[in-house]
Amino acid sequence: MSLSALSPKRAPATGQAAPSALYDVPGPRARARHLVYGVVASLALLALAAWVIHLLVDTGQFAYVKWRPFGYVGVQELLLRGLGNTLKAFALAAVLALALGAVLAAGRLSEHRLLRWGSTLLVEFFRAMPVLVMIFFVFVALQVPALPALVTGLTLYNGSVLAEVFRSGVNSVDRGQREAAYALGMRKTQVMVHVLVPQAVRAMLPTIISQLVVALKDTSLGFLITYEEFLHAGRLIAINMDYTMPFIPVVMVVSAIYIGLCMLLSWFANWVARRERGNVKNEAVPVAPAEAASTMPGTRM
Partner 1 sequence: MRTSVPSSGTTAARGALLVAFLLAAATACGAAGSPPARGPQPGELPHYAVAEGFSLPSSSTWRSAHRRGKLTVGVKEDQPGMGEKNPATGEYTGFDVEIAKMMAASLGFDPDEQITYKAIASANRETALQNGQIDYYVGTYTINEGRKKLVGFAGPYYIAGQRLLVRQDEKHLKGPQDMAGRKICSAVGSTPLQRIESDYPRAVAVAYDSYAICVDNLLNDQVDAVTTDDTILLGYAAKDPAHLKVVGRAFSEEPYGIGVPRQDRALARALDKALTARERNGDWKRAYEATLGLSGRPAPKPPRIDPSLTR
Partner 2 sequence: MDVLTENFSLYGEGFWGTVKLTVYSSLLALGVGVVMAGFRVAPVRALRVVGTTWVTVLRNTPLTLLFFAMLLGLPRFGVALPFELFAVLALGCYTSSFICEAVRSGINTVPVGQGEAARSLGMTFGQTLGTVVLPQAFRSVIAPIGSTLIALAKNSAIAGSFSVVELLSTYKTLSENGYSVVWSFVWIALGYLILTLAISALFHVLERRWGVPR
Q: Which residues bind partner 2 (CB under 8 A)?
A: 1-3, 6-7, 15-16, 19-24, 26, 30, 34, 37-38, 41-42, 45, 55, 59, 61, 128-133, 136-137, 140-141, 213, 216-221, 223-224, 231, 234-235, 238, 247-248, 250-251, 254-255, 258-259, 262-263, 266, 291, 294-301
Q: How many CB atoms lie within 10 A of CB 131?
A: 21
Beta carbon nearer to partner 2, 158 or 220: 220
Which one of partner 1, partner 2, none is in contact with 201 (Cβ closer than 5 to 8 A by kind)?
none
Interaction of residue 30 with partner 1, rule CB under 8 A: no
| Backbone phi, psi, residue 173, to 5° | -70, 135
Give which of partner 2, partner 1, none residue 256 binds (C-beta under 5 to 8 Å, depending on kind).
partner 1
Of these, 34, 88, 177, 271, which contacts partner 1 (CB under 8 A)? Answer: 271
Interaction partner, residue 198 (partner 1, partner 2, none; CB < 5-8 Å by kind)? none
CA dihedral angle for residue 93, residue 98, residue 99, residue 100, rounded to 10 degrees: 80
CA torsion, ordered 215, 218, 219, 224, to nearest 10 deg: -160
Q: Which of 102, 140, 94 is nearest to 119 (CA)?
A: 102
Q: Does 214 bind partner 1 (CB under 8 A)?
A: no
Closest to partner 2 by CB, 158 or 295: 295
Distance CA 274, CA 268 (A): 10
Using CB under 8 A, pick the residue from 61, 240, 282, 294 that binds partner 1.
240
Residues, the chain, total? 301
Cα radius of gyration (the chain): 24
> Is residue 32 at the binding interface for partner 1, with CB under 8 A as the rule?
no
Binder of residue 185, out of partner 2, partner 1, none (CB less than 5 to 8 A by kind): none
Q: At what angle do helices 73-109 and 197-218 cross, to 10 degrees?
A: 140
Closest residue by Cα to residue 292 from 153, 197, 164, 196: 164
Judged by beta carbon distances under 5 to 8 A according to partner kind, the member of partner 1, partner 2, none in contact with residue 186 is none
Whether 187 and 244 have beta carbons less than 8 Å apart is answered as no
What is the distance of C-alpha 268 from the center of its chain? 10
Question: Residue 129 binds which one of partner 2, partner 1, none, with CB within 5 to 8 A depending on kind?
Answer: partner 2
Tell which residue, 244, 236, 241, has the closest CA to residue 63: 244
The site for partner 1 (CB under 8 A) is made up of 1, 3-4, 7-8, 10-11, 13-22, 59, 68-80, 140, 143, 145, 226, 233, 235-243, 245, 247, 253, 256-257, 259-261, 263-264, 266-267, 270-271
